[in-house]
Structure 1
């Protein structure tokens, strides 16, 4: 049973594998890939274009292959159809255009639908499509150039042709153009009845005739020059032949003489050389015999020297061997002694390191306890300052609110006084206008009764009445103005007194928070200030009341004056008031300037300052700088911690500051700059004590550690203190 099941499973697996392989074969057969320079165009379910490959299912799809490689077509215009140039000359031209189907899917689809895939790249199809367009482009561009320019500006002519064509080629793209042939059209092919050809023939005839004349002239000049050169050459040849014959004869004579002389010299030299050779042979034989004897003697001497050298060398080797043995024994003995000495020193250093480590651990424990105490004290002091600051802030806020209220009341009083003054001035102007109107009416009535004897009396009476009413109005205005000024001054004084009273109360409330004893003292001071303020207000009120009464009496007296007297008196009062105001302003400015000058003269006796600014800005900047400097000086003088830091950092009794000592110790201990920056001062000194061997340096480090602990700088780093360990 099991075997049958296995057999059935194998059959199913084989069938599935066969089906799978069949599907793979079908898919591989259906997948089509184009060659280089071709694209696939599939129809059925829409037109699809691919350059890489696609599936083509039979019956459902139809596949076509389009050639998109570069093709060339030749456009030739020759003879009567030659290209007409700008100067009306005809040119025989042959241009090759290189174009292909644009590779974009949209362009390929457009070409496939309009032309068809098979015909898209056939030369006949391309000629049918573009012959007229390209010929028109040649005509258009050729008319822009003279015939000679077609040669001289060949690249520009070719680019102009390409630019004229590269617009819309219905899915094609122009890759390049090449001018294969360019020559002038023969005159025999031109039509004399054609206007353009007639002008061309005329120009060709003119140019060729002129060129023929120039060519003939050049040719004749050439013949004349050639003939002249031939004559000159023949004359020169004959002269040279004569000179050659003379030279040859003279040469033969000289050669015979020289040969005879040379033969005699040769014979003489030969005899001399034979004699020298004999002398040389004899001398050589003598030297050879002497050399052989010297050689024998040198051999004997060399043998004796060799024996002596061997004996000396043997003796030296024995001596060196003995010295080396003695030196070796001495070095071994010294090494043993040095080893024992190093062991003893290492034991001693280990004991010192253990002793220093115990001391450091003790110091670390003490530092931790001090840090805890310092933190507790700082926390308590911080809480105390926070409470005091909160109380002071609340009192200052209450004081500011009360001062603002007093200033508002003061401004309201001043506003009421100004309003009353304006109303009084308006009434004065109204009364003056009424008096003027009465005066005019009286003058008019007097003119009506000028013929009677009563006219003068009535006029005088009317004028007197008008003057009386005008004086009454001016007196009333003056009285109202004086009362308004008095009330304004009184209100101002009351507001000032009230503000001072509130300030005193606010100060008392703030001081009460600082302690009962101090609060009692400040309360008595506030009470005294309040009484002084009330007394001052009373005095001011009495003074202002007296001034008001004086002004009223003065106004009543002014009623009895005539118009001219009143105007003169008012002018004197106004002038006196303006004078007092100006003098007061001058005095105030003078006092301010004197005060500033005295302050600056005292503060800047020995200072060197660059002045920037003027008037008040200059004084403010100077006083601000001086205040800042004084504040820093007072802070250092009143702080024991800062005074200690200053003395230890800048006035060390040994002449060196702590920073100088730290830098020297860091450089001698072999620590890096990063260690000095990142470690606290306590940790840095501890590490330096561990890595230092000398007792003197360790003692200096212990003294430095105690100073740092006394200053409270153990947990700070050199970088936090703004100090550069470099």
Structure 2
């Protein structure tokens, strides 16, 4: 049993080995097609196989297939390069050569050694190999034949080409060749300066002339024979025509006799037929007219129906159009309403934002005022403490006298305090109302201006501001004068009120000190004298506390009124100060620049600053130039003591270099001078321009634009 298993295993292994070997061989085995050859290189050298396959090992071998099919190569010689025959006549000829790789191992190996097997049968490769040889063979064989013999003896011409070229072409084989196209080269393509072409032209001319003469003689002889034949034909025709006419006349006479007899009988029949036909025609015409009238009537009815339909359709279209127009106008109106609504909402939002901002600013101002009030109150408390301490000291010295004086002046002080409180309340209410009215007016003006600023264009707004400032300048001056006079009067009244208030405060402090002293005296006497003076001291203490509270309320009202007056005085004084400063500045600038031509650029907050900066820059330049000998020489060179000399120098340089101020007005001064330096041809001009550039840099105007110098069209602004 063991031997059988071993045998079976051995047989199975052999079968598996055979199968594996078969698949390996089938994978490495390559077989060419009917018109192909396999060229293998590598281990074993160059091998070629046709018809049968061979083993190709990928690592050890490299194999390519070679095409062995017949390829067609066409050689054409036309025009100036046409084929020259034995009689020196050029011929346009196209010959097709049929070439292939010879199906022999030696030839295939020879071709494989020369060329890549894949490219061995490519048309371009074959043309590159054999075009020159085939063309030379054509010229050699063509010179052995006349032009006419090329037509009559084509087979011999082809055989001669094959004999000259041969069939063995270094591994290739020429199977056959055929003349595809053969025609005489046009005379226009020949070169008369070429000897062979000149000979060919001569022969062509001779042959064509002879042939033309022969053709012409044949044509003349043909005309003569044709003319004679035409004459003979005409004579025979005339005789036959005469006989025909005689027969026709005879026949006509006989026919006329018969016709006359028949016409008489036929006339009667024709008249009867005519009458019947006329009757039928009349009936037919009547029917036709009736039919035409019916048709016209139907056409008219149809046209009227069409007109009614068209009118209805036109009215419907017009109605639809009007509805569309109405709908479009409604939509446009709704859109305008929505737009206006959105604009109004946006205006209200802006006014609300402005109102909120004003409220915030008002809160900030009130907070600042509260801080100031707290500071003033603390200062007053400190002064009060000092005054009380001093009063206690003085009260110890004149206790009895002050107590009596306090009792005597008590009634008068109470009455005066009540009057002061009433006046303070009235003034505080008036001041609060005035402040609220002023704030409301300011808020309204701010909101109005903001809304107008959104609705109006910036150009219109600027014009309106200019007109408003121009029209209200005088009124503002008069108003400020009146306000100044009112301030003077108010300050006078405030000073008097301040004196009265200080007196009242001093009296209140004295009363307070007296009350404290009285309290202390009463307490001391009560300890000595007992209950006798206790009630009196208690009464004095309560009166003193009442007076203290009473005077505290009056003091608060007076301080509030004084604070309002102080703020008002400060604001009016600031306005007056700004007005005085502006008037002084205007007088100074007007006096200094009354003879100048100035372009004003900027608003009221920047104009004076720019004027002052310009004057400051000019003074700096004057001081800088005056303290420098070099720059003084430059000044004398460029300015020469004449205001127009600087413009003349600049015009000289710009004119010299072909530069206009309009071209460079947007450049900086330094850029303009730098451009002129680069355009200068001699060192003198460059040196003068460099000195001028240093002057500009020292004056701080090098970075300014040329347009700010006021120099345009050769004129200098003073």
TM range (shorter): 0.3 to 0.5
Using the size of structure 1 for normalisation, the TM-score is 0.32
